[in-house]
Amino acid sequence: MKGHTIQQVRACAPAAPAGDTVEGPVGLRRKIKAYIHLTKPQVIELLLVTTAPTMMFAAHGMPSFWLMMNTLIGGAMAAGASGAFNCYIDRDIDRKMKRTEKRPLVTGELSDREAIVFAWVLAVVSVAYLWFMVNPLSGVLGVVAILLYVVFYSLYLKKRTTQNIVWGGIAGCLPVFIAWAAVRETIEWPALVLFTVIFLWTPPHYWPLSMKYAEDYKAAGVPMLGAIAPAHSVSVQVVLYGWAMVICSLLLVPVGGAGWVYGLSAAAVGAWFLYQCHKLHLLALAQKATSRTAMVVFHGSITYLTILFIALAIDPFVGGPIMESFIF
C-alpha cells in the first residue's frame, strides 16, 4: 500500500551514524528500532493521512471507532510489510546510495534473513487482520496493494522504465480503496476519484525528489526520470500531472457530493501547489533550477495532500453541498 507514492520516498533511518556498519551483536532495543525503520514509518504515516479522512467521507460522518482503528492498524501493517520487502529487494541498491545508506540491511543491524522473515510474517498478519477485523474486501485489497508494490514496482518496474514511479505508484493509491471498502463494503465512484488524485499526485511528488538525488539513482542504475532527463523536461511533466491532479480533485464535488469546505480547500491548495510547479518550470527553463527548488515542490506536495484530506475529513460535518450553500 505504499503509495508512493507516497511509500517510496523516505529512507529507513536506524540509530547508527551515517555510513557506519554494525560490528558485533545488536542489543534488543536497537534491534526493535531497526525493525520499525525497516517498515518505513514516514511512508506509513503519509498513507494513513488518506485513510481516516476517506472513511469519514464514506460514512458521511464518524465511522465506528473500532472499525477505523482496525482499518488503520491493518493498513499500517500492510504498508509496513511492503516497505520491509522493498528494503530487502533493494538492499544492494541501497548500499550505493547516500540517501539510503542508513537502512538496517545496509548498516547490518538486521540480517537479510531477519528482514525477509519479518516482511512475510507482517504481510500475512496484515491481510488476515484486514480480512477478519474489517471485511474480506479490505483483505483482498491489502493483498493487491502488497503485490503491486513488491512485485510490480520493486521487482519489475523500478530498473526498467522511467515511468516506474507512475505505474508503481498505484500501490500507494490502494489505501483509499481499503478505507472506502471498510465503510461501504464496495468500491464506488468517489473512491475512484480519490484513487486517481493520489495516482496523479505521485509523479509531481516523487520526480522533484529524484532530481535532488539524481547522482544516487545514476550510481544505482535506477532510471528515475528526475535523474536522467533534463530539468526542463521533468518540470513539464510535473506541471502537467499537477494540473490533472487538481482538476481531478475537484471532480469529487459533482461525482461524490463533496461540500463547500472540500471544494474551496481543493481549489485554494490546488492553486497554491500549481504555482509551485510552474515556478519550478520557469526556473528550469532559465537553467536556474536547483535541488533546493525541486525539494520545495516535493515538500509542497505533502502539504497539498495533507490539507486536501483534512478538508475531506471535515467536509461531512460542516460542508453542505455547494449548490445548496449558494441557493440557501
Q: Which CATH class is domain 27-187?
A: mainly alpha
Letter string b/e over residues 231-253, b meaning 16 or more CB atoms within 10 A of that residue's CB: bbebbbbbbebbbbbbebbbbbb
Distance separating alpha carbons of residues 220 and 77, to the nearest angstrom: 28
Domain boundaries, the chain: 27-187, 188-327
| Closest by Cα among 316, 321, 318, 320 to 63 | 316
pLDDT for residue 15: 37
- Digit-by-digit pLDDT tens for the chain (328 residues) are 444 443 343 334 333 344 456 655 778 899 999 999 999 998 888 888 999 999 999 999 999 999 999 999 999 999 999 999 999 999 999 999 988 989 999 999 999 999 999 999 999 999 999 999 999 999 999 999 999 999 999 999 999 999 999 998 899 999 999 999 999 999 999 999 999 999 999 999 999 999 999 999 998 999 999 889 999 999 999 999 999 999 999 999 999 999 999 999 999 999 999 999 999 999 999 999 998 999 999 999 999 999 999 999 999 998 666 655 444 4
Distance separating alpha carbons of residues 258 and 311, to the nearest angstrom: 10
| Closest by Cα among 175, 177, 171 to 191 | 177
Model confidence over 189-206: pLDDT tens digits?
999 999 999 999 999 999
| Closest by Cα among 307, 235, 236 to 271 | 307
pLDDT for residue 17: 41
SS3 321: strand
Distance separating alpha carbons of residues 75 and 63, to the nearest angstrom: 16
CATH number for region 188-327: 1.20.120
Distance separating alpha carbons of residues 256 and 60, to the nearest angstrom: 11
